[in-house]
């Protein structure tokens, strides 16, 4: 979300843990290593190929998040789409199980992060009063810490990224800060992938529609050659056949064209 350090602390919803003490306990070498991991995660985002399938790209973004955010054991990513089921990916089976619980009951850190457009952090999911049903189920899986980051673009929230750890109180303010730095370009990558996937789906639908129109036109031509009349009359007869046989118009047209082709082949290749 592109926050500076002070803004990030205000935006993070956390359990009552002292994140500053956890940061203070790190050595300078450990902090440098975390910065290097973040840089590698960001570099990975910059190398993502537009040729990847949407789900494959989202999984890679989630994997880079695991690398970029200190303490992460696994991550999931949810892409929100209008008029289409949300796309949900995970880097590990336990993440997939957790998100299944979350979306099954309709509550959890990812849902809150996406709805509120705020970073959400918890160090003890089983005891967190914000998601009592979700926390109990996840704690039984041995997962106690979560950091959820909304993927925010100028057009709004396009999704959310969940990062989990098995131990308690794993994520602190620094992890949230690094996560927010990572989430800004990640949101752009996800939105670009979404736009490209939508364009590909539209192109596929248009191609299918074009091919269907060609088949219908051929069927109309065949019917006109057999029975005469206008193209409009032939189309009317084709529609009547479609209704009577309870098949789509293009299916009936394909049958007529196929039968005509078979008869033509039989005439040219008599047995």
Q: Is-contact 165 10, C-beta < 8 A?
A: no
For residue 81, the model assigns a pLDDT of 74
Model confidence at 109: pLDDT above 90: yes
Tell me which range, 12-26, 79-93, 162-176, 236-250, is most confidently predicted by mean pLDDT: 162-176
Q: What pLDDT digit, counting tens, does each position of 35-76 carry?
A: 788 888 888 888 877 778 888 888 999 999 999 999 999 999
Q: What per-residue confidence (pLDDT) applies to 1?
A: 37
What is the structure's pLDDT at 7?
39
Token pair 């789906």 in the structure block, residue? 201
**Tens digit of pLDDT for each residue in 112-158?**
999 999 999 999 999 999 998 898 888 888 999 999 999 998 888 88
**In this predicted model, what pLDDT tens digit does every residue of 168-221 receive, in sequence order?**
999 999 999 999 999 999 988 888 877 776 666 666 677 777 777 888 888 888
Q: Domains, the chain, ranges and CATH? A: 5-198 (3.30.450.40), 201-268 (1.10.10.10)
Q: How confident is the model at residue 231 (pLDDT cuts 50, 70, 90)?
A: confident
Instruction: Look at residue 267 in the predicted model and tell me its pLDDT.
Output: 73
- Residue 197 is predicted with a pLDDT of 63
- DSSP assignment of the chain: ----HHHHHHH-B--S--HHHHHHTS-HHHHHHHHHHHHHHHHHHHT--TTS-HHHHHHHHHHHHHHHSTT-SEEEEEE--TTSPPEEEESSHHHHHHHHHHHHHT-SHHHHHHHHTS-EEES-GGG-GGGHHHHHHHHTTT--EEEEEEEEETTEEEEEEEEEESSSS---HHHHHHHHHHHHHHHHHHHHHHHHHHHHHHHHHHHHHHHHHHHHHHHHHHHHHHH-S-HHHHHHHHHHHHHHHT--HHHHHHHHHHHHHHHHHHHHS--
- State the residue for tokens 């040729």: 51
CB-CB neighbours of 72 under 10 Å: 23
Give residue 9's pLDDT. Answer: 35
Judged against a pLDDT cut of 80, whether residue 13 lies above it is answered with no
Q: Is the pLDDT of residue 22 over 60?
A: no
pTM: 0.65
């Amino acid at each position: 979300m592109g926050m500076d350090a002070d803004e990030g602390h205000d935006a993070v919803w956390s359990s009552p843990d002292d994140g500053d003490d956890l940061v203070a306990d790190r050595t300078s070498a450990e902090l440098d290593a975390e910065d290097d991991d973040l840089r590698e995660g960001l570099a990975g985002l910059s190398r993502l190929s537009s040729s990847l399938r949407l789900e494959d790209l989202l999984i890679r973004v989630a994997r880079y998040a695991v690398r970029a955010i200190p303490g992460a054991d696994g991550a999931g990513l949810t892409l929100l789409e209008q008029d289409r089921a949300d796309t949900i990916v995970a880097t590990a089976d336990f993440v997939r199980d957790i998100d299944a619980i979350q979306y099954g009951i309709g509550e959890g850190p990812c849902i809150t992060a996406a709805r509120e457009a705020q970073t959400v952090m918890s160090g003890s999911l089983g005891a967190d009063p914000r998601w009592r049903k979700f926390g109990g189920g996840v704690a039984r899986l041995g997962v106690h810490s979560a950091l959820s980051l909304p993927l925010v673009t100028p057009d709004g929230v396009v999704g959310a990224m969940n990062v989990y750890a098995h131990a308690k109180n794993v994520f602190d303010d620094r992890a949230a800060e690094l996560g927010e730095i990572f989430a800004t370009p990640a949101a752009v990558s996800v939105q670009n992938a979404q736009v490209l996937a939508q364009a590909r789906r539209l192109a596929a639908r248009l191609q299918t529609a074009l091919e269907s129109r060609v088949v219908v036109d051929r069927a109309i031509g065949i019917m006109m050659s057999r029975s005469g009349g206008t193209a409009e009359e032939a189309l009317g007869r084709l529609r009547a056949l479609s209704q009577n046989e309870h098949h789509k118009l293009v299916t009936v047209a394909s049958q007529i064209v196929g039968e005509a082709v078979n008869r033509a082949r039989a005439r040219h290749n008599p047995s």
